[in-house]
Amino acid sequence: MYLPEHEIVNASRAYPKPDTQADLLASNCFRMGLVAALRSLSLDGAAIGLMVTASHNPEPDNGIKMVDSMGQMLAPEWEPLCTSVANAATEDELFRTLRHIIDTFGLDSTIQPHVVYAWDSRPSSPALVDAIRAGLHALGATSTEGGLLTTPQLHYLVLSINTRHTPRPFGEPTEQGYYRKLANAYMAVAGDRRAPPLVVDCANGVGTRSLQGLLAALPPHTLNITALRTAVGERGQLNHGCGADYVKSQQRLPQGYENESAVQPGTLLCSFDGDADRIVFYYLTGPASDPASFHLLDGDKIASLAADYLSDLVKTTELPLQLGCVQTAYANGASTAYLQAKVPITCTKTGVKHLHHAAEQYDVGVYFEANGHGTVLFSPHASVQMEMAAKQADGAKAAALHELLTLAVLINQTVGDAVSDMLLVLVILAARGWDARAWDASYTDLPNRLAKVSVPDRTVFQTTDAERRLTSPANVQAQIDELVRTVPSGRAFVRPSGTEDCVRVYAEAATSEDAERLVRKVSELVSSSA
């Protein structure tokens, strides 16, 4: 493949590798534009996605996510290539790194690469999108501008574009096509069943537009939804005192909710994050001003609700399909015990890419991190089996097969999607005839605490068993085990952060006091062992 060195070097000079961390993103976005174009070439010109967002992080932060051709996360073998391109210190080193990728994969210059890009509502996003465009232009890539979208919508667009000429297109490759697909699937699966009223905290992010687009695609009054925190694009508002991460980490309502008339005891509430790929639910048992009335329904509760309901449907079909659930060490022990009585469970390292891969090993794989990031995967084998069985089934089997096949359309199987997951929960609650209290009553979470311990070198702490046990420093795990044995229903683990020089500590126990004491003692042990 011919590589336009002069074009790349000149363009790269406008986005030099900086000396300070604060200026790093423009250079990285330019370079990821180059990598995305090469990734597209390696797949014969299939569309690749680039999303400018920092998800649940504060508004001043920003970042970039790359979406592979089937709407999934980037292939693991390309992750180190992205790192080497981002770290190239000079234009010459950058060019040599790109040349190495081209030679390694034998890329064909007669194919034109295609990249789809979009961004969230952060003030820094437009300048970073300009850097992406410059990278794409330098390699002569054709591009599709998605505009202001959620991360799941970009995943949807990439897969829809790449399957539009196949016998099984994923969907109409437009933003409106996304809304129509979800709306039609929801109406088909919900039927006459009415979902409970819902109040949605949109985190002042692009999830606001996504929710509004969905509601516009549904017949009037199909859903009783009140949208709050909808100040898209207003400086300082994104994820500020609201959003899924705030609610989950603070274990409390978004700021100012005590003044919202729609926030009433017993009403189901939920929060998106900034780019709408996470969702958590919650409700009140008393006044909003009383912290004790707050009850969280997080990713563990969503996974349990989905796995329980889908397992019943699979059993009704009488097909030999294996449904399983994937969790991380952060899953509450009560949720694990509840699920183990119903379905197989796999535990993986923290990180959605690990959960997604594990879920693919099941015919129907349910995965959610406790933070509310997750989805349900239906394998191609399962889909074919259900479609074939549906042609001959009747009665309860036919109804279960129809519902499963429709849910496979409703659920965004490429990535966690707050809007799609919201609809899944509403469908199940409507079918069960449950409100927030009835859902929460399925099991009671063990009290738990999280802590962060700053350390000089986090790499000293090495883990095994899906990050649930330490292998080093020596003897620390044995001391943690001894501390755990001192409290009823105790469990604790520590793991090094992937981004900061700190160690994260998780503890749970039968009482809040014991959980608090356990996390403090384990944190002290970590600090003294660093």
Structure confidence by residue, pLDDT tens digits, 270-308: 999 999 999 999 999 999 999 999 999 999 999 999 999
Q: What is the pTM of this model?
A: 0.93
- At 9 the pLDDT is 64
21, pLDDT greater than 60: no
- At 227 the pLDDT is 98
- At 23 the pLDDT is 56
Which is it for strands 142-148 and 323-328: parallel, antiparallel or unpaired? unpaired
User: What DSSP line would sit under 444-503, residue for residue?
Assistant: -PPPEEEEEEE-S-GGG-EEETTTTEEEESTTHHHHHHHHHTTSTT-EEEEEE-SSSSEE
CA torsion through residues 332, 337, 339, 345, sign: positive
Q: Once rounded to an integer, what is the mean pLDDT over residues 374-382? A: 96
Q: Once rounded to an integer, what is the mean pLDDT over residues 490-513? A: 92
The binding site for Mg(2+) comprises 55, 273, 275, 277
Taking the CA atoms of residue 26, residue 29, residue 34 and residue 38 in that order, the dihedral angle to the nearest 10 degrees is: 170
Q: Hey, is 62 helix, strand or coil?
A: coil
- At 506 the pLDDT is 96
96, pLDDT greater than 50: yes
| Stronger pLDDT, 11 or 203, i.e. the higher one | 203
486 φψ region: left (φ > 0), alpha (ψ -120 to 50), beta (else):
alpha
Q: Hey, is 308 helix, strand or coil?
A: helix
Give Cβ neighbours of residue 488 (< 8 Å, ≥ 6 apart): 509, 510, 511, 514
Give me the domains of the chain, ranges plus CATH numbers: 5-148 (3.40.120.10), 176-297 (3.40.120.10), 299-414 (3.40.120.10), 448-529 (3.30.310.50)
Q: Once rounded to an integer, what is the mean pLDDT over residues 83-109? A: 92
- At 498 the pLDDT is 80
pLDDT band at 530 (very low <50, low <70, confident <90, very high): confident
Q: Which amino acid is at 148?
A: L
What digits encode the pLDDT tens for the residues 453-474? 999 999 999 999 999 999 999 9
Is 55 an annotated catalytic residue? Answer: yes
- At 500 the pLDDT is 78
20, pLDDT greater than 60: no
Q: Which of 1-10, 126-135, 154-163, 220-229 has the lowest mean pLDDT?
A: 1-10
Residue 198 phi, psi dihedral angles, 5° rounding: -140, 135
Query: Which H or E run includes 421?
Result: helix 418-432
18, pLDDT greater than 70: no
What digits encode the pLDDT tens for the residues 138-183? 999 999 999 999 999 999 999 999 999 999 999 999 999 999 999 9
Query: Which H or E run includes 135?
Result: helix 125-138
- At 87 the pLDDT is 92
The residue from 12, 27, 55, 125 that is catalytic is 55
The binding site comprises 55, 273, 275, 277, 369-371, 495-499, 504
Percent of the chain scoring above 70 in pLDDT: 96
Q: Hey, is 173 helix, strand or coil?
A: coil
- At 2 the pLDDT is 59
8, pLDDT greater than 90: no
